A and B are shown apart, each in its own frame.
Chain A
Amino acid sequence: EDKVVQSPLSLVVHEGDTVTLNCSYEVTNFRSLLWYKQEKKAPTFLFMLTSSGIEKKSGRLSSILDKKELFSILNITATQTGDSAIYLCAVEAQGGGNKLTFGTGTQLKVEL
């Protein structure tokens, strides 16, 4: 059974700090790993990673995948209060309709 473990479960930082969120996974026939941001509604897409070692970047957010060690990290630099959310990691397997298996998420709170 596919499995995703995220750490830490929750994190409180001050504005301007840099945070690193972790995601480790076990999946048969890996296709991709995705990061989503969830505020008080549906998850919104951040990144899809399919290849090891290639950093994806969007503004202050970046992510990288290590397919050998089966993990990914999501970095947020110069955090702002608007970054407060749950960050979800999910893996997608080949075939099977590409359904996603999610971790429990990391709850990030950014304080002034």
Chain B
Amino acid sequence: DTGVSQNPRHKITKRGQNVTFRCDPISEHNRLYWYRQTLGQGPEFLTYFQNEAQLEKSRLLSDRFSAERPKGSFSTLEIQRTEQGDSAMYLCASSNNRGETQYFGPGTRLLVL
């Protein structure tokens, strides 16, 4: 399967714990995006990378959130000191450098108790 993959698919954690999600984009894609989707809403942009450079971050991305893409391939999104309001589906998407269609991964569903 050469699509976007994300791990884990589901994560349940207690408030205050740290969590980390991983995204593996389509191999020839050098743009990678993170979005968050809550129930009844469309996905909201969080951040994006061109290769290893993080070029834009939404104001939705508080100081507790950090994303990396160290070698320009896979990316991780870490949430520190999770809060119940962080419960959401975290979606990763990738596209090529021509900025063509973004293809989404299956998402990581986070539940903070």
Q: Which residues on the A side are within 8 Å of B106 (C-beta)?
A: 41-42
A99 touches B48 (CB 8 A): yes
Q: Which chain A residues border B4 with CB–CB below 8 Å?
A: 42
A34 / chain B contacts, CB cutoff of 8 Å: 101-102
Question: Which residues in B have their C-beta under 8 angstroms from that of A98?
Answer: 31, 95, 99, 102
Q: Which of A87-112 contact B (CB under 8 A)?
A: 88, 90, 92, 96-105
Question: Considering the chains assembled together, what is the distance between the CA atoms of A96 and B56 in angstroms?
Answer: 7
- SS class of chain A's interface: helix, strand, loop or mixed? strand
In the complex formed, the residue of B with least CB distance to A86 is B42
| A44 to B45 CA separation, bound complex (whole angstroms) | 17
Q: Are B43 and A43 in contact (CB under 8 A)?
A: yes
Out of B40, B41, B45, B56, name the residue touching A100 (CB < 8 Å): B45
Closest Cβ of chain B: how far from A66's Cβ, in Å?
Answer: 21
Whole-angstrom distance between the Cβ of B30 and the nearest chain A Cβ: 12
- What 0/1 readout, one digit per residue, does chain A (37-57) give for beta carbons within 8 Å of chain B? 000011111001000000000
Nearest first, the 4 A-B pairs at minimum CB distance are A102-B42, A42-B104, A98-B99, A99-B45
CB distance from A95 to the nearest CB of B (A): 9
Chain B residues within an 8 Å CB radius of A102: 42-44
Asked if B33 is an interface residue, CB under 8 A from chain A, the answer is yes
B107 close to chain A: CB less than 8 A: yes
